[in-house]
Amino acid sequence: MSANKGNKNTVTPMMAQYLEIKAQHPDALLFYRMGDFYELFFDDAVAASEALDIALTKRGKHNGEDIAMCGVPHHAAEGYFLTLIRKGFRVAVGEQMETPDEAKKRGYKAVVRREVVRLVTPGTLTEDSLLQARHHNFLAALGKVRDEFALSWADISTGAFHVMPVGQARIGAELARLGPSELLISEGVDEELREVLVEIGVETSILGNASFDSTAAETRLCGIFSVSTLAGFGNFTRAELSAMGALADYLDITQKGRMPMLRAPRQEAVSRLMSIDAATRRNLELTRSMQGGKADSLLSVIDMTVTAAGARLLERRVSSPSREIPVIHGRLEAVRWGLESGVTDSVRDTLRQVPDLDRALSRLALDRGGPRDLANIRNGIAQAEAISDRLEAVDLPELLQTSLEALRGQDPLLDQLEESLIAEPPLLARDGGFIAPGFNPDLDEARQLRDEGRGVIAGLQSKYSDLTGVTSLKIKHNNVLGYFVETTATHAEKMLSAPLSETFIHRQTTANQVRFTTVELTELETRILNAGAEALAIEKRLYESLKGAILDQAPALSEMAFALAEFDLSLGLAELARQRDWCMPKVDDSRAFEIEAGRHPVVEAALKSSGEVFIANDCALNAEGDKASVTLLTGPNMAGKSTYLRQNALIAILAQMGSYVPARSAHIGIVSQVFSRVGASDDLARGRSTFMVEMVETAAILNQADERALVILDEIGRGTATYDGLSIAWATLEHLHEENRVRGLFATHYHEMTALAGKLPGVKNATVAVKEWEGEVIFLHEVRDGAADRSYGVQVAQLAGLPTAVIKRARTVLEALEEGERGRTSPKALIDDLPLFAVAAQPEPKPVQSGPSEIEDRVADLLPDEMTPRDALQAIYDLKALLKK
């Protein structure tokens, strides 16, 4: 039954309150706080019980039908939130805003006042348990004013806030770069961009057009940052204001007026970043592998950071390589310093102890923090001071010198936090016990009274035991009776009789115990309870004071956090270069692309783990002036063409993000765009075949690539008829050469295309070398100048395990086709002349064998302990030759 079908005149006051709150949030599951549980009712309960795999029960009647109900403990709610968010739900958290006793002051039947204090959505998570520490959680908004678009994004768990104008054609690429958890979009625009949004797979929330009003946005943003004008932050377009305003409006709605701590908006420009579209990111597996996880991605094999903030910064750099030469050089110099410095290990050891300052600050600003976040700020400042002291007299490159300066200046706050907090505070302020003894005299006095009261209770118990002669007498406490004297039932008559009955007042009798109180015990309980409550109240006031002191320094602490992340990233990349023997690339404004002994970082790491060696290869795409430079790569499948293509694109991305690269040397002229069309897959949900997907991706490249683009294409045209495919591949290469004038690698099995090297000055042939031995192909994985004479497809099919009869038949057909090609005989005529497969593929009868076979005799004669590696290899070849007889 749907909750909105209820008639409030026929429901209880509590259910009427529930229905009223639910009506305000119809698109979210309402977690309705009732004591120690969050309860869900009606359709929400049905949906939640199925999604969370918890029991569905019933409670009372509504319009004559049972009310569906389920619930979860409030202390474990975060885990349930995460499960629901991942399954596409949103959650409205309805909290009790007063105690039952406070409600009763308004009337005996008054319902405890409840309000939704927060909407939990994918882009507004802040709790550590709901987030991945080493990944950003971006909330993005796409604004449109007239025909101009802008994209704004923020991570409220760290305070990052950015905005940039974006052309409609670039929206998909930028969303793929950011990977937002949630995208805010206005009514109407969602239909206009439906295809792009479906391709990216982003979770969208549609807001009314009023949220995107650019004029109201300017006023709203000025209020958030307490300024009279936004001019100090940048010259924003109306579309940018629209996007930022929608984001701010959504945060106000979901956080119920508790605006998270956002840094001043940082204006970015597309022209400053390397452009990588969504298909290319998938093909190159930059931050996610084809399987969808981080494992086996580029990010996974280069991440040697030791802090969460450093890991997030690395992910941003991998996703957004720079096109600004001074920025790239500054980052490379920082890595070089880390590689050559003798203090790198000690600084990294200190960085390992740095907590996540950004997320601690964010939780404190949203009032979701606790004493442990105060301690994290204290510990982070302390480690920053230690690094500052360690590097004070060290000559640093400009980037790290600037970062070092941001680590200083928080001594007063550090002193205050060190004096006030114990070493390891509890998670929640309500637990108390986190303020250090001696910091506040009033707190010490309250604690002393509370703690002495406990000692007095123990003395009073001993006194009463002596008075009554009951050695088993105990003074206990529970939430119903408070403190009470308890004896076993065997002593009940004695305690209830004079003279003891004059001192001990009967309170309760249970099956095995009798409970009493005394005037003295009641007075002592009042003193103890008041002291404990007073101590906790003082600690809460001190917590608010310390939180305020931290938030007053929030901008400086954010800069400190970023500086620590910069140190972590630079030194992590230096350690990567040291361990993997990577080189410092030369990056300039030329159109050079020259890699000596380049390697694929992910494949090399995988081979190394299994004890194998990666075969390095050179790549030269040195374009003169504005001319093209394309290498046409031929060779068999499984020879490593795709690996070669990908590794050179990854080397360019690594170089421009400011990292050393897996090569002996590298000279890279700035790459503006990287395009990749490698691999094949269909898109059935959108009615696209493998070939259609291939053509769509190729069209995007031909329509967008400029002369500074790096393009890698693999097997264009393979998804259709041979001549169709050849003609498409031929025309594509010509267009890349003549119109786009790119630097590129073009792998193909159409050997006819090698003739283009003699017609187009910017095209040269290269091949992946193989060796054929006794009908089998051996892959050498070496890229050489020249063209392959064939593709060795039948040999690869044999390696894949196709039946022998199929392989033999394939060889027969191939020989006939090749002979016909030489004689210009039509393929159809050749096929008509061939015998049917069933006739040609009759399996040869196997001879009946008696006694050991020749192979068994050979194996028996082998003496492994006396053989050299070469002898062993030759023996294997000999045995394989016997198998073919």
CATH number for 701: 3.40.50.300
- Identify whether residues 522 and 633 lie together within a single domain: no
Owning domain of residue 403: 303-410+556-579
Q: Is residue 763 part of a domain?
A: yes
- Identify whether residues 466 and 570 lie together within a single domain: no
* CB-count burial class (<10 Å; 0-12, 13-18, 19+) for 855: middle
**Least confident segment among 272-286, 330-344, 676-690:** 676-690
- Identify whether residues 695 and 683 lie together within a single domain: yes
CA gap 165, 240 in Å, rounded: 6
Q: Is residue 549 part of a domain?
A: no
Is residue 781 left, alpha or beta, with left meaning phi > 0 and alpha meaning psi from -120 to 50? left
User: What integer is the mean pLDDT of 648-670?
Assistant: 97
- Identify whether residues 106 and 136 lie together within a single domain: no
Q: Is residue 515 part of a domain?
A: yes
Model pLDDT, residue 9: 46
- Identify whether residues 192 and 251 lie together within a single domain: yes
397 annotated ligand-binding residue: no
Q: Cα angle vertex 486, ends 481, 490, to 5°? A: 140
Using a pLDDT cut of 90, give the percent of the chain over it: 57
- Identify whether residues 763 and 783 lie together within a single domain: yes
- Identify whether residues 533 and 604 lie together within a single domain: no
| Three-class secondary structure of residue 261 per DSSP | coil
CA gap 640, 599 in Å, rounded: 11
Model pLDDT, residue 689: 66
Which tokens sit at 810?
């394939």
Pairing of the two strands 586-588 and 665-669? parallel
- Identify whether residues 620 and 742 lie together within a single domain: yes
438 annotated ligand-binding residue: no
Q: Which of 120, 151, 176 is the last residue of a domain?
A: 120
Q: Is the preceding peptide bond at 326 cis, omega within 30 degrees of 0?
A: no
**Least confident segment among 95-104, 233-242, 625-634, 875-884:** 875-884
* pLDDT surpasses 80 at 882: no
Q: pLDDT grade, residue 681 (50/70/90)? A: low
Model pLDDT, residue 793: 67
Mention every residue, 6+ apart, whose C-beta is less than 8 A from residue 849: none
Total tally of structural domains belonging to the chain: 6
362 annotated ligand-binding residue: no
635 annotated ligand-binding residue: yes
CATH number for 43: 3.40.1170.10
CA gap 36, 623 in Å, rounded: 69
- Identify whether residues 538 and 561 lie together within a single domain: no
Model pLDDT, residue 684: 44
Q: Which of 261, 282, 316 is the last residue of a domain?
A: 261
- Identify whether residues 764 and 640 lie together within a single domain: yes
Asked whether 614 and 606 are in contact (CB, 8 A), the reply is no
Model pLDDT, residue 6: 44
Which residue bears the tokens 């009606």?
A: 42
- Identify whether residues 34 and 61 lie together within a single domain: yes
Give kind and range of the element (H or E) at residue 883. Answer: helix 869-884
* pLDDT surpasses 80 at 842: no
DSSP alpha helices (H): ranges in 505-553? Answer: 519-552
Q: pLDDT grade, residue 7 (50/70/90)? A: very low
211 annotated ligand-binding residue: no
First to last CA, the chain: 76
pTM, two decimals, is: 0.83
Q: Which of 103, 120, 137 is the last residue of a domain?
A: 120
User: What integer is the mean pLDDT of 294-323?
Assistant: 95
Q: Is residue 98 part of a domain?
A: yes
Q: pLDDT grade, residue 683 (50/70/90)? A: very low
What amino acid occupies position 413? Answer: L
63 annotated ligand-binding residue: no
* pLDDT surpasses 80 at 881: no
pLDDT digits (tens, 9 = 90+) for 141-174: 999 998 899 999 999 999 999 999 999 888 999 9
636 annotated ligand-binding residue: yes
Asked whether 644 and 618 are in contact (CB, 8 A), the reply is no
pLDDT digits (tens, 9 = 90+) for 532-566: 889 999 999 999 999 999 999 999 999 999 999 99
pLDDT digits (tens, 9 = 90+) for 478-503: 878 888 999 988 888 888 888 888 89
CATH number for 450: 1.10.1420.10
Model pLDDT, residue 849: 54
- Identify whether residues 148 and 133 lie together within a single domain: yes
Q: Cα angle vertex 714, ends 710, 717, to 5°? A: 120
725 annotated ligand-binding residue: no
Asked whether 406 and 559 are in contact (CB, 8 A), the reply is yes
Mention every residue, 6+ apart, whose C-beta is less than 8 A from residue 792: 636, 637, 770, 772, 777
What amino acid occupies position 336? Answer: R
